[in-house]
Amino acid sequence: MDRMLVVVFDNEAKAYEGRNALLQLDLEGSAFVYASAVVTKGADGIASVKQEDAAPLGTLVGTSLGTLLGLLGGPPGAAIGAVGGMTLGMIGDLDRGRIGDDFIDDVRKALSPGKVALVAEVDENWTTPVDSRMEQLGGTVFRRSISDVRDIANDEDAAAIKADIAQLKAELAQSSVERKARLRDRIDALDSKLQARLQKARERREAAKRTAQAKADRLEAKAVAARARVH
C-alpha cells in the first residue's frame, strides 16, 4: 500500500540513521522507498530540506511527497528551502497531496523547532519492520495512506457548481432585464470557479500519470538490478 511516512527525531544524526535504516529495509524487501527527504525545523519555525533523494521520481514537484514538504514549510506561503530549483513552500496544496489535513496537523505539532524529520513516500505491506527500526532510533512515526479522497471531493464540488449554473440559467430565461444582468454576473463568476476546478483536476491527473510511470520505472529498475545480482 502506498503511504506517506514521517518519522520525527530529536536531531539530524538520528534522522540520517533513520534514512539509512529505511533504505536498508528497502534492500531487504520489507518496504519500498519511492523518494525521501530529511527536513529540519529552525528556531524561527521555518522548515528546510537538508537532503532529498527523489531521482527515481524526478522532481518532487507535483508528487504527494513534494506537496507534504511544502505544507510543512511553516507559516502559509513560507519557503522551505529548495529542491530541484523549486521553492517547495510555494507548492503546498492539500488537494494535490491526497492526504488528510489532520495528518498534516499532527506532523506539524510533532515537528517543533529543533526537531528533524525523515519524510518518505513508501509502499509497505505491513508496518512492523519500519516501526521497529525507527522506534529503536528514538523516532516518532506518522503514516497515512495516499488516497483519492481529495479527487472525489473536487469532482463533487465541480458537480455542485454545474448544478448552480444550470439553476441560474433556468432563472435567467424568466427574469426581468435588470435581474438578467445580475444573474449573468453570477453565472460568469461560477463558470470561472468551475474552470479553475477543472484545470486543477487535469493537472492532478497528469501529475498522477507521471508519478505512476516513474514508480513503475523504479520497480522495473529494481527488478533488473535484482536479476543482475543473481546472475
Quick one: angle between helices 177-230 and 149-172, nearest 10? 160
Looking at per-residue confidence, does 149 or 16 come out higher? 16
Least trusted range by pLDDT, from 112-126, 167-181, 202-216? 202-216
Contact (Cβ atoms closer than 8 angstroms) between residue 154 and residue 201: yes
Q: How confident is the model over 178-193, as pLDDT tens digits?
A: 788 888 888 998 899 8
pTM over 0.85: no
Q: How confident is the model over 71-81, as pLDDT tens digits?
A: 776 443 333 44
Nearest one of 141, 114, 135, 131 to 11, comparing CA atoms: 114
